[in-house]
Chain A
Amino acid sequence: MPALTFRTLTLGYERHPAVHHLDGSVAEGELLAVVGPNGAGKSTLLKGIVGALRPLDGVIERGGVKARDIAYLPQIAEIDRSFPIAVYDMVAMGLWRRAGLFGAIAGTDRARIKAAMSAVGLAGFENRTIGTLSGGQMQRTLFARLLLQDARLILLDEPFTAIDARTAADLLALIKRWHGERRTILAVLHDLETVRAHFPTTLLLAREPVAWGPTPQVLTPDNLLRARHITEAWDDEAGVCERAA
């Protein structure tokens, strides 16, 4: 049974599609890279899967996984890093589903938080506020939070953007560990070398799906050229899409 199925899925803003008529499915345990030019709808697709955006058309079937059971790494730019919160507390947010409003963070939970911080190489950073972290350390913090969420479906929005090679390698190792644990992972990426080297399957998106399948067959010069040519433009005068849903 696939972890995710899209049926003529259209997502967008104010009736303008950012993801247009996407069909296909993601298998349980798949490690899928989502690539495409800026404005191709990659982040929009993740927001749709996580339920933050209602489809304009079509459906997303999550195969029994509830929207709340998905671990989601937002783009780092959308986090208020000036807010005075300790790294430890930021990581502890990953326990929300267990702890909720009032649930105590018990001794075992504290051990799990410590373990997650060690796993991403942030032991000793517990009391630092997030404003004092470098970009790489911030991304490690968010990965520690993902570890605690312990989700079957993991969505990563540009996890390696503005991250140095060593941090990227460390975080990639975590992703591979999740892949080994048969978790389903979708990652929005820009670096095609990383995709070719580590991601078995790829979805090339340029508002419309350009290609989807085994990475070597998707990332061909032909497909990449087509992706670049599909318009990014927002047409105010666009007519109503007549394609059957």
Chain B
Amino acid sequence: MTVTAQSPAGPTPAVPDPTPPAGPPRPGAVRRLARRIHLRTVPARIRAMTLVAVVAVGVLFGAASWAIGNARDGLATIGHDAGPQVVATGDLFFALNDMDAQVANVLLLGRDRDLGRGREASLRLYAQRRSEASRALLQAAQLAGDDRTEQRTVQAVLDGLGEYERLAARAIQLDEQRPHPAGPPSDEVLALYREATDLMKLKLLPQAYNLTLESGSIVRKTYEREHSSLVAGRLWVLGSGLAVVAALAAVQVYLARRFRRLVNPALALATLGAVALTAAVAVLVGTQAGLLRKAKEEGFDSVLALSRARAIGNSAYADEGRYLLDPVRRDTYEQVYFDKSQSILYLDAERTKSLADYYVNLDAAVNAYRSQPRATFLGFFGDQARAARPGGAEAAAVTRVLERYREFQRKDRSVREMVAGGRLGEALRLHLDGREFSRYDAALVELARMHRATFTGAIRQGDRGLRGWDVALPVASAALVVLILLGVRPRLAEYR
């Protein structure tokens, strides 16, 4: 602005401030610079305005590649690196829970080896979960990187797992030496199992759960950073695109006045090109921000939450088994079963004070949701029910999960009523049958699969959207510069 004010050549069109936004230079410096590049002559002014336009194209290029780079990084982290890894560590909690459940099963069977799933199958499943746990721990160790606190947690789980296996193996071995019919094993075996299950419940499971939470928080932070830089990037692209257009318009007007020409075709084309490029990049970045949000909030978050809900449900089912296994601790195991049920699907505590209330109120809550999709409950399933669009496939999947969850709870009620009625053997068979639980678990896995599809779909769409921009952006920017130079060159030639 100082430049135009100094110019004696009367009113000139507004030239965008050519000084970079990095810091305001002193007016004296600009004046000296202006004198040096002889802005008093026409070609000098054209050259200066051209330079401004080209620099603006450069800034547009910078802003666009920065924004596109952020989009790419966001997709890479959430879609390909940390996101899937975090989901894999979520399996740790499930695997550990199921290890303990299988040990309880084996002890419960005694010499009736073929009840339910059967002893051999339980032992095989135990080994399989053990190796899944190792794999998930490996992932967790990788995610921990050089974070000391996380590393120590992984280390503690590894150590505890070794201790747990030792206790579990001793309990199973001792149980083999004291054959008993299906039902509670000997007191010595129970004492060993209590030690093992307490270690699992109090030390291993909490740390495994916290590991997933912690790595989930890494994803959340990355997501928020990338998402807000995408939003900022879009503003920058729009701003610099506007600057290019303004600079080009200024050159156009100046040339029109100076040389009495109507339109400079090359410059006009460059202007249109700049508008198109800016719009395309702004739309792209906006879409990418939306896809990232979708992948994170509708995909990743739900997948993680459902994997937790699944593990908690699995351990609640195991608590039903422990309730049968350990008569002394029956009250405690009933209480933890109730607590876990409440964390999966929470019913108002004022009206739901015990498991008996829970069965009754659950029935009403599921019926209410089915007739009019409005969740009166909280917890994991409350979140799912609220997030699902009524009438959609997801809502149908949620309804299915809720119905089968209710079936599972109804069966639990029967098991406990049989125990209260002194029919332990019947209760045992009903528990070991586990059909309702499997059906419920399958519905839950199906719902999680839908969210995973949302996740991978959004990520894939994002990847596709970014394809080609590595080439398109530099080519388009270079084309703009060439058009600008082509536009001013004939005019400058008139002064040679």
Asked if chains A and B come from one complex, the reply is: no
Q: Which residues of A contact B (CB under 8 A)?
A: none
Binding site for A on B (CB under 8 A): none
